Amino acid sequence: MEEDKKQQEPNNASKFIKIKKFPFILGIVLLIFVTAGITAIALSFGDEKVQSFAPIAANQREEFDKLYSTYDTIKNKYYKEVDDNTLINGAINGMLESLDDPYSDYMNEAEAKSFHQSISSSFEGIGAEIQEQDSRIMVVSPIKGSPAEKAGIKPNDIILSVNGKSLHGMSSSEAVTHIRGKKGTKVELMISRGNASEPIKITIIRDTIPIETVYAEMLPEGIAKVQVTSFSDNTAKDLRTALEDMEAKGMKGLILDLRGNPGGLLDQAMEISSMFIPDGEVILQVEDRAGKKEVIKSENNGELKKPMVVLIDKGSASASEIVAAAVSEAAGIKLIGEKSFGKGTVQTAEDFKDGSNFKYTAAKWLTPKGNWIHKKGIKPDNAVALPSYANLLYISPEKELKQSSSSAEVKSAEAMLKAIGLDPGNVDGFFDQETKAAVTKFQKDHKLKATGTIKGSTTMKLMEQLREKILQNDTQVKKAADVLKKEIK
């Protein structure tokens, strides 16, 4: 992606011209690709991301008297000298924090630099998307194929600490500066997941995370599955290319997979929605603080006329929810999977001359029928969960599980072994002789040292096999294919 983040122009010059009035960020969070790691930090900008504004003189606004009085007192009477920028930045940050809005955030110069660096073709980091929620840092979704996904990071995981440093009370921008790092370096995260009694330590080796957002494959019986992982500069273009490729291979129906998609550029979401929605139908409405609504309509060129369904889950947020809601309400396309995340606000950003900046919520978006899905999510037409083993507890490769040990990790390992076709005995969290025998067989089958214990390469191979099992038995994709087959006939 280009650092300038210019609006993508559609085929006809007037297409989506109304969108340019909204310099909105629709990426739900920061991309932890981490150089920067969603930094990567990756938030998405609209066309007019920077606005200029003049400083306010103290004597012009009485409401600033307390602020300046406090500033003067600290500068003159605090027991040690305090840097001016520290006080000013703290005041700005305090104002934004008082909004109690996880999507409004101040970024100092270093954080803002990472923010802008996110607008490129690749990043170095772990590849996960985060947001601040209730003073905690929550994972929205890992990036497809990223180190975070391979290490077992899941949506809704809470990152408690990074390399021993607590993230409690940090903004997403600040947390990213601790999570990010150069390719090949190691980062240790302490994760809280669901009702797990103890935090999980996950060690991840940072890597380069390319911004590839469209993945297409042809399934049996002419059903194409196209996954869109986020909405970046070229997503609409790449989606068209993927659909053309699937058409050439005999596509009879389409599964558009938006699972784990945290959002991105508004213009891309609009352009993609317009591919599937009849010309002139409403895609979404953007409502400002005064209740004034801007209605965005489709300018469909008849690009796809095949049966179609859309997959969503709890990691589908923001711009992906715009697409899901639009095709559902305006085109009657079925949604399959799990209820989406529920982000119905849009943000804009402003830069300061010193290189710092802040983003704030500027409006809310509504579905074609005027529904606000914020904190509610979108319910699928067909609710389908993944197999239970898709949500198993992560096992740290550094922790040794051996005979006679007992823990939640042992129970998770037993469930993994059972899921891939081995018999560990009772899945009860106790590493007994049957568990050891199953582990030994697993190691021999995969040409690993047959120690009968789970650690290191055995742990990594076990989780890799589980991921393959989940892909092979994707119940949501299977349901989508069944629905399409009926429509195709």
Span 300-345, pLDDT tens digits = 876 678 999 999 999 999 999 999 999 999 999 999 999 999 999 9
User: What values do phi and psi take at 321, rounded to 5?
Assistant: -70, -30
Q: CA 397 → CA 32, 203, 206, 400, 454, distances in Å? A: 22, 8, 16, 7, 8
Look up 411 and say whether it is catalytic.
no
Tell whether 81 and 118 lie within a shared domain: yes
- Catalytic one among 150, 343, 411, 479? 343
Total structural domains in the chain? 3
Tell whether 225 and 170 lie within a shared domain: no
| pTM strictly above 0.85 | no
Strand partners, 190: 161, 201
Q: Are 115 and 173 in contact (CB under 8 A)?
A: yes
* DSSP strand pairing (223-228 vs 253-257): parallel
Number of residues that this document lists for the chain = 489
- Alpha carbon distance 278, 156 (integer Å): 35
Tell whether 293 and 177 lie within a shared domain: no
Tell me the residue range of the domain where 291 lies. 214-342+377-383
Q: Given a cut of 90, is residue 42 above it in pLDDT? A: no
- Alpha carbon distance 223, 255 (integer Å): 7
Tell whether 271 and 174 lie within a shared domain: no
| pLDDT, tens digit, 9 for 90 and up, residues 90-127 | 999 999 999 999 889 998 887 777 666 554 456 778 98
Asked if the structure places residue 1 within a domain, the reply is no
Asked if the structure places residue 446 within a domain, the reply is yes
Q: CA 261 → CA 105, 213, 219, distances in Å? A: 22, 9, 21
- Give the H/E segment covering residue 246: helix 235-248
Mean pLDDT of the chain: 84
- Give the H/E segment covering residue 215: strand 214-219
- DSSP for 122-147 reads EEEEEEEEEEEETTEEEEEEEPTTSH
| Intra-chain end-to-end CA distance of the chain, in Å | 41
Residue keyed to tokens 């930045």: 89
Asked if the structure places residue 154 within a domain, the reply is yes
- Alpha carbon distance 179, 171 (integer Å): 12
| Amino acid 48: pLDDT | 32
- Catalytic one among 114, 173, 318, 396? 318
| CATH number of domain containing 246 | 3.90.226.10
Domain endpoint, select from 210, 236, 266: 210
Query: To the nearest whole percent, how much of the chain has pLDDT over 90?
Result: 58
| CATH number of domain containing 427 | 1.10.101.10
| pLDDT, tens digit, 9 for 90 and up, residues 285-305 | 999 999 999 999 998 876 678
Query: How far does CA 223 lie from the centroid of its chain?
Result: 26
Q: Given a cut of 50, is residue 272 above it in pLDDT? A: yes
Tell whether 337 and 444 lie within a shared domain: no
Look up 244 and say whether it is catalytic.
no
Q: Determine the average pLDDT of the residues in 77-82.
A: 95
Query: To the nearest whole percent, how much of the chain has pLDDT over 70?
Result: 85
Tell whether 260 and 200 lie within a shared domain: no
CB atoms within 10 A of CB 175: 26
pLDDT bucket at 383, cuts 50 / 70 / 90:
very high
pLDDT bucket at 386, cuts 50 / 70 / 90:
very high
Look up 63 and say whether it is catalytic.
no
Tell whether 108 and 201 lie within a shared domain: yes
- Catalytic one among 174, 287, 329, 414? 329
pLDDT bucket at 69, cuts 50 / 70 / 90:
very high
Q: Given a cut of 90, is residue 1 above it in pLDDT? A: no
195, burial (CB in 10 Å: exposed 0-12, middle 13-18, buried 19+): exposed
Tell whether 325 and 409 lie within a shared domain: no
Domain endpoint, select from 162, 185, 210: 210
Q: Given a cut of 90, is residue 431 above it in pLDDT? A: yes
